[in-house]
Amino acid sequence: MRSLRLPSPPEQADRAAVAEGFEPVDLRLPARPAELKRARDCVATAAADFGFARKAAYELVFAVNEAVTNAIKHGSPDQDGTIRLSIDAEDDSLVCSIQDAGPFIPPSKKHEPVSVESGRGFAFMSALTDEFELLVRPAATVVRLRKLRPALVPSA
């Protein structure tokens, strides 16, 4: 009777497999637009290894791409000309941190409608992740994006 309450063995095996496949990432990217592809590929690989479904992985890639774009566009690279992208597993979430060495420059204070040409990055980041945090320090701006791995659906 007791065994009926436990998750089915295949599901446990799947979870173990994805946990083993994921490797934390700590990447220094040259602060150039041409590096965006590398950042996206890196997040896509981490998300797949962590067991994210396709749609959730795409959403995380999109959100991180916005943060890296902001860091390249508005931020300041460190002495080596790089910005930092790290990806860590925390329980059932992936946490991506994007850090540049510049002070935070707030987007226009004006309340703009969604139809304007730019300034939509923060809306995307918060809509596509489960937690969006902006850490502002004197010589660093860090965007932290957390996305939960949806519960694995046991195959019927």
Chosen residue from 3, 108, 115, 155 binding another protein by CB under 8 A? 115
SS3 23: coil
Judged by beta carbon, residue 7 or residue 33, the one nearer another protein is 33
Beta strands (DSSP E) in 2-149 are: 25-30, 82-90, 93-100, 131-137, 140-148
Judged by beta carbon, residue 69 or residue 93, the one nearer another protein is 69
Binding characters for another protein, 50-89, by CB under 8 A (x = yes)? ----xx--xx-xx--xx--x--xx----------------
Chosen residue from 4, 6, 34, 151 binding another protein by CB under 8 A? 34
> 64-80 b/e with 16+ CB inside 10 Å = b?
bbbbbbbbbebbbbbee
Short-list 60, 145, 58, CA closest to 98: 145
| Residues contributing to the site for another protein (CB under 8 A) | 33-34, 36-37, 40, 54-55, 58-59, 61-62, 65-66, 69, 72-73, 114-118, 120-121, 123-124, 127-128
